[in-house]
Amino acid sequence: MLRYILKRLLSLVISLAVASLVIFFVIEIAPGDPATFMLGINSQPDTIAALRAELGLDVPQWQRYLNWVGGLLTGDFGTSYTYRTPVAQMISERLWVSLPLAIYALTLSTLIAFPTGIYAASRRGKAGDTAVMGATQLGVAIPNFWFAMMLVLLFAINLRWFSAGGFVGWDKGLGAGLWSLTLPAISLALPQAAILSRVMRSALLDVLGEDFMRTARAKGLTRKQALWRHGLRNAMIPVLTIIGLQFSFLLAGAIIIEQVFYLPGLGRLVFQSINARDLIVVESVVMLLVFTVIMVNFAVDLAYALVDPRLRSRT
């Protein structure tokens, strides 16, 4: 198991190093100079040069990259060009919205997908299976931003059960904070639940056709008992893969939902920073999100080894 973990850690470090190079240089070569953008195109060249020196943009790109990576390793993400505040502080404030939202949405998605996927697999070819597959097909097809607007129209404008947007803050209490994130979480969760439910059903059906499941049935277990005792655990590897990918997507890809509900999350921060040419913020947030994706994948790899010990012996 230790050898398995060390190999995954080496892969993690290499992935982070390559990602940092790609993120920095792709963003840096994007057109538009931050200093010129801040001062306006009619500004004097010496004024622009002075601001570039103040922002640290007058040094070679390779030196800026090394300074940026060195700062990341020590927890110093730099200072925002536009807001003149530490980037780490800005990310921390926004992360307290995006991270709970992602966890909330993933929890809802899992709670919906597991029962429906198991139910559909246990009733293959019957009316219940057909109904679940039809509902999940609809869930996959509907864009989450359109679904979010329908939720706002119904529950915020017509029924007035929720606020149409914004975040009250955690200082108002855990319940109030979660309540204001409920509609965004549902908007994100239902399409993901549809995908996860279909994967769960497919994985379980594959497992139900294996020899060891037929052996379990031959020993006297009912189909339901065999499914719960032997089938579910063996079907978890593709399901864990999807859960890991979904968490990464929910954390990094919720920008549209954050725009719809005016949530002060990481997605809106990236969007605003791109518009303002605040490169240091964009680079740091994207690197943080990539780090999260890679760490989630690392955790999923470890979960694979726990669920299926055979994987440890193959590495």
Mean pLDDT of 87-99: 89
Burial of 10 (0-12, 13-18, 19+ CB in 10 A): exposed
Evaluate if residue 185 carries a pLDDT over 90. yes
Q: Residue 193 has what pLDDT?
A: 92
- For residue 103, what pLDDT is reported? 92
Q: Which domains does the chain have, with CATH numbers?
A: 96-266+292-313 (1.10.3720.10)
Share of the chain above pLDDT 90, in %: 15
Average pLDDT over residues 182-198: 92
pLDDT at 268: 84
Query: pLDDT > 70: what percent of the chain?
Result: 93
- DSSP code of residue 157: I
Q: What is the pLDDT of residues 22-40, one digit of tens each?
A: 988 888 777 777 777 777 7
What pLDDT is attached to residue 131? 92
The full DSSP string for 175-243 is HHHHHHHHHHHHHHHHHHHHHHHHHHHHHHHHHHTSHHHHHHHHTT--HHHHIIIIIHHHTHHHHHHHH
Output the pLDDT for position 310.
Answer: 58
CB atoms within 10 A of CB 245: 17
Residue 32 has what pLDDT? 72
pLDDT of residue 314: 54
Distance in angstroms between the alpha carbons of the first and the last residue of the chain = 9
pLDDT value at 123 more than 90: no
d(CA 167, CA 179): 9
- Stronger pLDDT, 75 or 107, i.e. the higher one: 107
pLDDT band at 272 (very low <50, low <70, confident <90, very high): confident
What is the structure's pLDDT at 271? 84
Average of per-residue pLDDT across 197-219 = 80
Confidence of residue 196 (pLDDT cuts 50, 70, 90): very high
Q: How confident is the model at residue 315 (pLDDT cuts 50, 70, 90)?
A: low
What does the block give as tokens for 232?
A: 């579910």
Handedness of CA 120, 124, 129, 133 (dihedral sign): positive
